[in-house]
């Protein structure tokens, strides 16, 4: 057994997350402050945005089922990075790790911007840009400090904030529906786009709310019985979030007038004030949103460091990301570098973009959809090359349809992001190419230096399995041209 395989086995055997904990991880990763600002971001499109939200929910469920199936075959940590590497090689793995890393720190900038909107319920009520930027930077660096203090503190902080974030959302998704006024919805399609165009544009924004649905698959190596629990946690967690999101957004649309909602920086606060009267209920929602935002930033700051750490241990990310400090092995460089980048894009967005939250959300969605697309493609690759040998015909047809839907949904999300977002996202993604070339150069030099000596073992990240060797099987001459050449 290789060293990487032994590491994966030991990690799996020592995994401590059961189904409830894994489900909580998925829900906690999905729900941040984005949902608290989402109704305002969707308001310009009108109630037709709710149709987009339903479509996005179906696509998210297809992705959740796809990740569940992939984790059954590769029950190890790494998520999209591992699936792409196993199916399409190291370069695909690197691109996914790079893109996912961008999603994490750019998403943190979006969470910070939404978080500022709720902090400013109490301070900087005039929304002066300079003070808003300072507040956003404080929101980014407090979670970074918590992460730098060690895993135990990070975990305790996450548990507390995850529990508190549910209160306003559950109340709005239940009690809020009793106060819906149809006159508040406004025109069904409030923008100047066609119905299909409005749905596509709103869907690209709404998808941001489901980023994190892959969380259980990313840490599959630390989940007990991952082949059983990761798929269940992923689908159940996504369904729970979908129910809260759809009902909560519907309640906000129905309790805040369309004009007020489009200009609001704290829509759930405004909805609570309209329902109860006065300001105390809105202030309570704002406090919960502030706590939720800090909790989400805490979790995603950890992810900002963990994904490149895993790739760096595989030699597919700069070596600095693999360096750790302290007994708990804190990846200091990954935490600091990611937070610096999130800070820069936050400042840039406040000074250069008019619609800060929406712009950063679209960039985060685009860079997240690329790993989702590769994961769906990896699933289809496996189904078409090996599915007939291991699955029943009914299961094969079902899984193929779900993976195809997930892939189509990913393409649709890219299309709805808009030309400017695709331009920025593609440019940032391609910035990874020089990094990959440099990494390959270093590995090639190492190989030259080791020539003639014993073969050096390939070091891989904990819980990350080596590539699975393919077992050739007989094929008919007619199908030979379809064979994948490794």
pLDDT tens for residues 153-176?
777 787 787 777 777 788 888 889
Query: Residues 292, 294, 300, CA angle at the centre, nearest 5°?
Result: 100
Q: What is the pLDDT of residue 16?
A: 53
Identify the DSSP state of 213: T
Greater model confidence, 108 or 327: 108
CA dihedral (28, 240, 190, 265) positive or negative: negative
CA dihedral (112, 117, 123, 127) positive or negative: positive
**Exposed e or buried b for every residue in 187-198, given b needs 16+ CB within 10 A?**
eebbeebeeeeb
Tokens found for residue 383: 């189904």
Reported as a pLDDT band with limits 50, 70 and 90, residue 356 is low
Q: What is the pLDDT of residue 300?
A: 83
Q: Which of 77, 80, 75 is nearest to 96 (CA)?
A: 80
Q: Is 223 helix (H, G, I), strand (E, B) or coil?
A: strand
Reported as a pLDDT band with limits 50, 70 and 90, residue 352 is low
* Ranges 32-46, 117-131, 235-249: which has the least confidence: 32-46
DSSP secondary structure letters along 144-170: HHHHHT-HHHHHHHHHHHHHHHHHHHH
Q: What is the pLDDT of residue 215?
A: 81
Q: Report the alpha-carbon distance of residue 105 to residue 316 in Å, rounded.
A: 19
Contact (CB, 8 A) for 445 and 456: no
Q: Is 17 helix (H, G, I), strand (E, B) or coil?
A: strand
* Ranges 19-33, 130-144, 370-384, 396-410: which has the least confidence: 19-33
Q: Which of 149-163, 181-195, 392-406 has the highest mean pLDDT?
A: 392-406
* Ranges 24-28, 147-151, 173-177: which has the least confidence: 24-28
pLDDT at residue 483 above 50?
no
Identify the DSSP state of 347: H
* Ranges 397-401, 430-434, 455-459: which has the least confidence: 455-459
Token pair 């996504």: residue:
238
Could you tell me which residues are beta bridge partners of residue 325?
A: 330
DSSP secondary structure letters along 102-126: HHHHHHHHHHHHHHHHHHTTTS-TT
Q: What is the pLDDT of residue 447?
A: 57
> What mean pLDDT value characterizes the chain?
80
Q: Report the alpha-carbon distance of residue 461 to residue 334 in Å, rounded.
A: 15
Q: What is the mean pLDDT of residues 44-71?
A: 91
Q: Report the alpha-carbon distance of residue 376 to residue 356 in Å, rounded.
A: 30
Tokens found for residue 359: 């712009």
Contact (CB, 8 A) for 223 and 15: yes
Q: Report the alpha-carbon distance of residue 206 to residue 194 in Å, rounded.
A: 18
Q: Which of 305, 317, 388, 377 is nearest to 341 (CA)?
A: 305
Q: Is 330 helix (H, G, I), strand (E, B) or coil?
A: strand
Q: Which of 196-205, 375-384, 420-429 has the highest mean pLDDT?
A: 375-384
* H or E, element range at 254: helix 226-255
Q: Is 325 helix (H, G, I), strand (E, B) or coil?
A: strand
Q: Report the alpha-carbon distance of residue 139 to residue 347 in Å, rounded.
A: 13
- Single pTM value for the model: 0.77
pLDDT tens for residues 231-280?
998 998 899 888 888 998 999 999 999 888 988 877 888 888 888 887 78
Exposure of 30 in the CB half-sphere (CA atoms within 13 A): 31
Q: Report the alpha-carbon distance of residue 281 to residue 401 in Å, rounded.
A: 45
* Ranges 65-79, 207-221, 244-258, 345-359: which has the least confidence: 345-359
Token pair 């009108």: residue:
46
pLDDT at residue 448 above 60?
no
Residues of the chain above pLDDT 90, percent? 24
* Ranges 31-35, 189-193, 286-290: which has the least confidence: 31-35
* Ranges 31-40, 102-111, 173-182, 392-401: which has the least confidence: 31-40
Reported as a pLDDT band with limits 50, 70 and 90, residue 471 is very low
Q: Report the alpha-carbon distance of residue 62 to residue 51 in Å, rounded.
A: 17
Greater model confidence, 470 or 143: 143
pLDDT at residue 461 above 70?
no
Q: What is the mean pLDDT of residues 275-300?
A: 82
Q: Report the alpha-carbon distance of residue 36 to residue 195 in Å, rounded.
A: 25
Reported as a pLDDT band with limits 50, 70 and 90, residue 454 is very low
Q: What is the pLDDT of residue 452?
A: 46
Q: What is the pLDDT of residue 137?
A: 95
Reported as a pLDDT band with limits 50, 70 and 90, residue 306 is confident
DSSP secondary structure letters along 255-286: HS-HHHHHH-S-HHHHHHHHHH-SSHHHHHHH
Q: What is the pLDDT of residue 445?
A: 61
pLDDT at residue 309 above 90?
no
Token pair 């649309």: residue:
253
Exposure of 334 in the CB half-sphere (CA atoms within 13 A): 30
Query: Residues 440, 431, 368, CA angle at the centre, nearest 5°?
Result: 105
Decide: residue 361, CB within 10 A, 0-12 exposed, 13-18 middle, 19+ buried. Answer: buried
Greater model confidence, 395 or 278: 395
Greater model confidence, 485 or 427: 427
Residues of the chain above pLDDT 70, percent? 83
* Ranges 312-326, 349-363, 418-432: which has the least confidence: 349-363
């Amino acid at each position: 057994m290789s060293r990487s395989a032994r590491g994966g086995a030991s990690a799996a055997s020592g995994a401590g997350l059961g189904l409830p904990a894994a489900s909580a991880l998925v829900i906690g990763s999905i729900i941040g402050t984005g949902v608290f600002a989402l109704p305002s971001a969707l308001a310009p499109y009108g109630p037709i945005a709710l149709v987009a939200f339903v479509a996005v929910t179906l696509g998210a469920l297809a992705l959740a089922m796809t990740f569940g199936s992939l984790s059954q075959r590769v029950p190890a940590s790494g998520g999209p990075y591992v699936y792409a590497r196993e199916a399409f090689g190291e370069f695909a793995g690197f691109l996914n790790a790079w893109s996912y890393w961008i999603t994490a720190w750019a998403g943190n900038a979006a969470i910070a911007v939404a978080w500022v909107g709720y902090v400013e319920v109490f301070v900087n009520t005039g929304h002066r840009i300079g003070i808003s930027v300072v507040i956003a930077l404080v929101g980014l660096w407090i979670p970074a400090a918590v992460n730098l203090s060690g895993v135990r503190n990070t975990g305790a902080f996450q548990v507390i904030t995850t529990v508190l974030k549910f209160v306003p959302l559950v109340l709005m998704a239940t009690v809020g529906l009793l106060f819906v006024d149809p006159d508040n919805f406004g025109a069904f399609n409030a923008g100047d786009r066609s119905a299909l165009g409005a749905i596509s544009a709103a869907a690209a924004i709404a998808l941001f709310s489901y980023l994190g649905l892959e969380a259980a698959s990313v840490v599959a190596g630390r989940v007990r019985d991952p082949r059983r629990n990761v798929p269940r946690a992923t689908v159940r967690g996504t369904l729970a979030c979908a129910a809260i999101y759809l009902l909560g957004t519907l309640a906000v649309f129905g309790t805040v007038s369309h004009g007020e909602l489009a200009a609001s920086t704290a829509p759930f606060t405004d909805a609570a004030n309209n329902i109860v009267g006065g300001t105390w209920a809105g202030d309570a929602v704002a406090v919960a949103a502030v706590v939720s935002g800090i909790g989400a930033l805490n979790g995603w700051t950890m992810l900002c460091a963990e994904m490149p750490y895993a790739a760096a241990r595989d030699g597919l990310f700069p070596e600095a990301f693999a360096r750790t400090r302290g007994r708990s092995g804190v990846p200091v460089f990954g935490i600091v570098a990611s937070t610096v980048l999130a800070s820069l894009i936050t400042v840039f967005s406040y000074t250069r973009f008019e619609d800060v939250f929406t712009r950063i959300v679209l960039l985060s969605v685009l860079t997240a959809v690329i790993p989702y697309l590769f994961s769906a493609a990896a699933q289809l690759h496996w189904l078409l090359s090996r599915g007939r040998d291991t699955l029943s015909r009914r299961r094969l047809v079902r899984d193929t349809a779900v993976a195809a839907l997930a892939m189509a949904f990913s393409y649709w999300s890219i299309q709805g992001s808009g030309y400017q977002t695709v331009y920025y996202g593609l440019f940032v993604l391609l910035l990874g190419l020089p990094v990959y070339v440099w990494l390959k150069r270093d590995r090639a030099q190492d190989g030259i230096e080791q020539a003639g000596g014993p073969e050096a073992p390939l070091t891989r990240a904990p819980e990350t399995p080596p590539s699975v060797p393919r077992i050739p099987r007989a094929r008919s001459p007619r199908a030979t041209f379809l064979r994948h050449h490794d």
